[in-house]
Amino acid sequence: MNKRHGGALGLLTVGVLVGLTACAPATPAEGEVQELLIWDTGILGRTLENGDPDLENSFLDQMAVAFEEANPGVEVTTMQQGQDISTNSAQFQAAMIAGTGPDIRIQYAGGPTISFGDFFVDLEPLLSQETLDSLQGFNVNREGYDPNGRILGMPYGAGNLFTIFQNHAVLEEAGLDPEDTPETWEELLENGQQVVDNTDAVGFSVANLEGYVGAWFISALVGGELGESVFTRMYAGDIPVDDPAMIKAYQAFADWGASGLTNPDAGQLGGGGAPLFIEGGAAYYLVGSWENNLMLESFGEGNVSSFFIPTLEGAPYPNIGAGGPEIALSITNTARNQDLAVQFLEFLADPANQDIFVEIYQTQGSNHPDGDPSKIQNPLLREQFEQLAASTDGVTFAFDSVMPQATIDLFYRVNAGVFLGNITPEDAVAQLKASYEQEIANQ
Domains within the chain, CATH numbers bracketed: 2-152+327-363 (3.40.190.10), 160-324+382-442 (3.40.190.10)
Q: pLDDT value at position 9?
A: 27
Q: pLDDT value at position 27?
A: 53
φ/ψ of residue 371, rounded to 5: -65, 150
Alpha-carbon span 361 to 380, nearest angstrom: 13
Q: pLDDT value at position 11?
A: 32
Cβ atoms 153, 120 nearer than 8 A = yes
Q: pLDDT value at position 40?
A: 95
Q: pLDDT value at position 39?
A: 97
Q: pLDDT value at position 86?
A: 76
Mean pLDDT by 10 residues, the chain (443 residues): 36 33 49 91 89 89 96 94 79 94 95 92 98 93 92 94 97 98 98 98 97 97 97 94 98 98 96 95 96 95 96 97 93 96 97 95 89 92 88 92 90 97 98 96 82
Q: pLDDT value at position 397?
A: 92
Q: pLDDT value at position 30?
A: 61
